[in-house]
Structures are given as structure tokens and as C-alpha cells.
Structure 1
Amino acid sequence: MTSKALNQFLDESIANLKEHGLYNEIDVVQGANGPIITINGQEKINLSSNNYLGLATDNRLMVAAKQAVDTYGVGAGAVRTINGTLDLHIQLEEKLAQFKGTEAAISYQSGFNCNMAAISAVMDKNDAILSDSLNHASIIDGCRLSKAKIIQFEHSDMKDLRQKARKAVQSGAYKKVMVISDGVFSMDGDIANLPGIVEIAKEFDLITYVDDAHGSGVTGNGAGTVKHFGLEKQIDFQMGTLSKAIGVVGGYVAGKENLINWLKVRSRPFLFSTALSPADTIASAKALEILMDSKELNVQLWENGNYLKNGLMKLGFNIGHSETPITPCIIGDEKKAQMFSKRLNEEGVYAKAIVFPTVPRGTGRVRNMPTSAHTKEMLDEAISVYEQVGKELGII
């Protein structure tokens, strides 16, 4: 017998989400997640993947992963601190440190895990965290888990950050104060003002933490947003993911050796979760090798991103203030955003609607994620469909 209270809560809550256009239907992809995907037997131009560089289906990574399975099996077999640390993990972490320009790095099972692990390993109830108002949900949850005082500052507003940093430090109420920000904000595509953050951090001795999940492989010629600004020696925590531009799955934190040593003995997802699989580990390392050897994929990503962005702007779509290939089409009304996405889908363009709580109410949008694997023909077709549906719904 199931709980009546639970069933009532679920039925009412789901109905409420559907009524307000906030219920997300999950689509199943049949086959690989490339620039063209198949859903319900129909091929669609894929503009919703985080596979920025097309590496998720790159043959070089696939060959490496298959070889790893033949040699190491399908699983690491244990947590890292018992005997789940394979030589592959050490090789990956050495490459990550080289890639990010730091002394050391530590790998985790996901980018979300990184923020849950690293923030709470260093910050506690005696501390405070200055957090950008548009930071990712995993940052918010990691901050909450730490039990530190969370002080939100206005998005990329250095005046507000300075005022709140001064107040927090001069109050004497906290042992440590951290400032944390995404490197690239995934809903709008804008880049954090890291030079401004570093300047304020130096003034008030703040710990600096950058979540560069959407920057690694994209900004800084592929090395990320910290590298983009030349601040590798100024940022304490560089967090990134292996699941987006790298094309595989997992996450990492890069920084000074003493920080990484501490995370290895105090970050709970590292201590209590089985290590990354051999195939994922070696494929990630292969992706890093490719990015360090050549900028070709990164250059193509930016060319495609600018091409799509310019095409949508010329049609009159509101794409906000994106500084990266991430290209939102901001609609506003949540139901209209959902309808816009549905019609695009019906016309062969897969671009998901993003609505509250992922973005603030009243800023519903369809987010486009062009990749290096898209051809100009694909992008032209997508732009044509955008024009047709945009006019049909009175958006342009």
C-alpha cells in the first residue's frame, strides 16, 4: 500500500507544473548524440547537446575506450582510497593539471559531484560564500551542503561584490570567505568578469572558485575561462566537467597540490563513490590530448556559433548578451517558449525550451548549442525553420 499523502502531493504538483508550462517531457534519443539525432524514428538537427566539440562520437575516443575495456574491464572496482585508483586515473589527472595550468587535479564522477565535494571540503558553518546570483544549481547545492553563510551578489556586478565582500570580511564573523562564480553562464552564454573578481579577492583575501563546466574546451582556445584571462595562478579552484566539450562523463577540480591533497582525504564523493570507469577515464585523457595538440575543433565551434548567432539576430530574435557559442532565443512567456520548442521539433530542429526554475520566471527561452560537428547546411536549415516558426507564432 502506497501513501495517500504522497500520491496526492505528486498528482497535484505534476498537474500544477503542466498547467503553468513548467513540466518537462523527456525525449529518448535513438542512437548517438551527434549533430543529427533520431527521436521517435525522425531525424532532427540537434541544437540541445553540450557536446560542443563533437568528441562524444569521435572515433579516436571510441577506439581508446574499447581498448581500455579490453585491458582494464568495465569498472574500476572500488573507491579511489581503497584500490580503485588505476594508473589511468593518475594519467588523466596529470593531463588535467597540464591542460588547466595548475600544479595538480582530482577527478570525480560528475561535474555536479565536484561542486558537492570541493566546496563542503573547505567551507563550513564558520565561513561565508559570496555567490553570483545566476550560479548553477550544483554550486547552490554545494554551498548549502557546506553550511556556510551564503551571500548572493548581483550577477557579474563587481560593485555589489566589493560591497558585500567588505561587509563580510570586516564583520569578523567568518573564518574564511569564498567567492564563487560560473566561468560561462550556461543559460545566457555570458562570461564571468574574472579579472574583477580576482582584484576584489586580492583586496579582501577571498578564496576564489570558478565553475568552468561550459568554458573548458570552449573559451581560452579550449583551455577555459581562467586561461582566457591568463589567471591560472590567481584562481584557487578551477572546476570543470568531462561531460560537455570533453565529450565523455565526469568532472574535476584543478589547483595547487596541497588543495588537491586535501580534497583526496576530505571530499566525500571521492571517498565514498566508485572511481570513474576505465573507458571513461582513458577517453577523457584522449580528448585532452586532442585539445592540447590542435585548436581545429575549437575554431570550428566558434565559427559555427557566430554563424548561427548572426543568422538569428538578423531575423530579429532576442539572443540576449551571449559571448560564447551558447545562443538563447529569449521568448519570455513559459508556455510560448514551450510551444516554440515544440513547433521547431515538429519541423525538424531539436532545441529544448528552458523555463523556471532553471531560469527566472518570465525569461523562458529556447537555448541553442551549436557544435563544431554541425555543417553550414545544417545551420542554414535550422535558421530557415526558426524564421518560419518565429513568424507563425508572432515572435519575430
Structure 2
Amino acid sequence: MYEEQIHRKIIHIDMDAFYASVEQLDNPELRGKPLAVGGGGERGVVSAASYEARKFGVRSAMSGVLARKKCPHLIFVPPRFERYKEISKKIRNIFKEYTNLVEPLSLDEAYLDVTENKKGNPSASLIAKEIRQRIANELHLNASAGISNSKFIAKIASDINKPNGQKTIPPEEVISFLEDLPIEKFFGIGRVTAAKMFNLGIFTGKDLKLKSEAFLTEHFKSSGTHYYNLVRGNYHSKVKPNRERKSVAAEHTFITNLTSEIFMLEKLEKISEELEQRLASTKVSGKTITLKIKYSDFTTQTRSKTLPYFIKNKEVLLETVKDLLFQEKVQNSVRLLGISVTNLNINSKNKPEKLIDFQLKFEF
């Protein structure tokens, strides 16, 4: 298993500021200007920021209000997901000319296993360079890439020479690379976990490697074993081109908080329509319906119901969600509502070709 891992050739392709770059591509007047895709109002959230905006500290998931404070001349444009999906499909068609082992993570990034590839090219680095050049020539967008013998290292590497660059970490350099890597740069270690590690004297991969598995499991439970293996390069996850979809969902954030169930039902009807379309496009249905409620104080509540049959139409969705909504009184004013369908009818005879399990978020 370990020998197989050493000789695997994995590329992680990550589009540079994808949503924002598409908007600048389609509207030349936006090129070279600080741009944010998302809402700039009181309830707005930045979905993506151009590199011109990032120079001012604007980042994705930042509130629109804070983004404007950091960059007063920031330009906001609404998201156009159909356009992003259209271009994403063209990018993946390029990937498929090199390998069928393509695992999409989202519209703008994917893993490629090119150990054995359609071009017969033994160099993963040259393949990555060629793919990036084709994306630039054919779609007029920039992409960055990371190349190594595992998905974990390739993903970290793709961020090193951004934007419009690539980085290769050969197998013989993986361990030293991990030892020198700041702990907050490890993919999967967020701010909360990083802060906890700092308090334990863990600042780099080398510090992490000095801790025993028992010590790590004591402080991080089951994740401790994961971190123990990760820093030693024992990461064997393969590129999975046909990952099964686990859920289909849609959610909306509102400009004004909702205080009445009547208003909530009106919004849930629109969300049900959107979810019905998504279930139809992915050719799946499910038994478990979950209502997600995020309150004005940012606390989140979920309520679920499992039916004895698979459903995919908005009428049954909405009736089930109504029952869940009135299951108990809402605790506060509501800023977000979402509906998800799980327990899907995915089997060998009914399986989507790809997994693109993302939630589109709108304001209205």
C-alpha cells in the first residue's frame, strides 16, 4: 500500500478567484478593479473576491458590510451560478482528455490521478502545466496546481504559488515539507484546532510529529490518530471520480429577519421549488427531509423527518417541511432557512455520474 502511494501522481487544480474572474472575463469594465461576488447589503456575504479586492483584506465568507469597510470602492456583483457551472463543465472536459480519474471538489477545483494518463506523459508536472495553459488559451482564465503523490499534499501545494502558478512536492521531499509546514497550513486544521495546538506547543509539522499518538488522541479524540498519520505522509485516499452524493440541499439567507411562520412558509415554497429542480437534474430522490433554521443570534436548529417512500416533488417536500416548521415554535427571528434531502435512492442502477454537492445561497 505504501509503495503504491509513493508512485501515485496526483494533481490538484484550483481555479484562481473563479467566480470573480468569470465576472471580469464577461465584463471587461470590471477587469483590474476590486470586485466581490455576493451581496453588499446588511445581510450580504462575499462568495468570492478578485485578487484586486484581496489586497484590501476582502475574503470569501466575509460580510458585505465589513468588505465595504475594508475597501470602500469595492464593486459587488450578484452570483451567476449557471454561468459558473457552464465554464466548470468545459474545464472538466479538458481534464477528461488526460484522465478519467477526476474527482471534483466544487465548481472550481478537482483532483486528477495521472499515474496512468491518456497522453502517455510520465511527468505530472508537465501535464499540470499543459492543462493550465489550455485553460488560459481556451477559456481565458487562470488556474493554479499542486502536484504530489497524495491528494493531501497536492492540495496544500496548489496554494503555494497562487495565483497562476504551480508547485511540485516529489515523494522524497514530502516528509521534510510536512515537518516545515506551519500547522495552520495543514488542510483540514481550522482556526479552532490550530489555536488548541498552539496552546500545546505545536506550531509546525515537526512539532506535531514529536507528539505520540496517545497524546494526540487524548487531546483530539479520534482526530488524533488522523493527525498522527497525516504528518508522517500516511495519507492513502484515492481519487474517486464517482463519489456518491449524500445529500441535495438548498438554503436562502434573508435581507430582513423573518418573525412570522407565514412569511417563512412563503420562502420555504420557493426553496422547495429550487430543490425539486435540483433533485430532477441529479436524477435522485430521498426519504429524509431536514429543515434548517438559523436564527438572528446565529444559532442553528435542524428538524428532520424520514418518510416510508422516496420523494422528489415540491408538493410533498413542502408539506413535510410545514410539519417540521410547526413541530415547535421558532425560538427567535430567522435569518436563514434551508431544506435538505438525504437517505437517497442511489444504487448501482441509479447513480449520478458525478458529485457536485454544493448549496446555492441567495438573498431576497
TM interval, short-chain normalised? under 0.3
TM-score in terms of structure 2 length: 0.26
Answer 1 or 2: higher relative contact order, Cα 8 Å, separation at least 6. Answer: 1
Identify the structure with the greater helix proportion: 1
TM-score in terms of structure 1 length: 0.24
Identify the structure with the greater strand proportion: 2
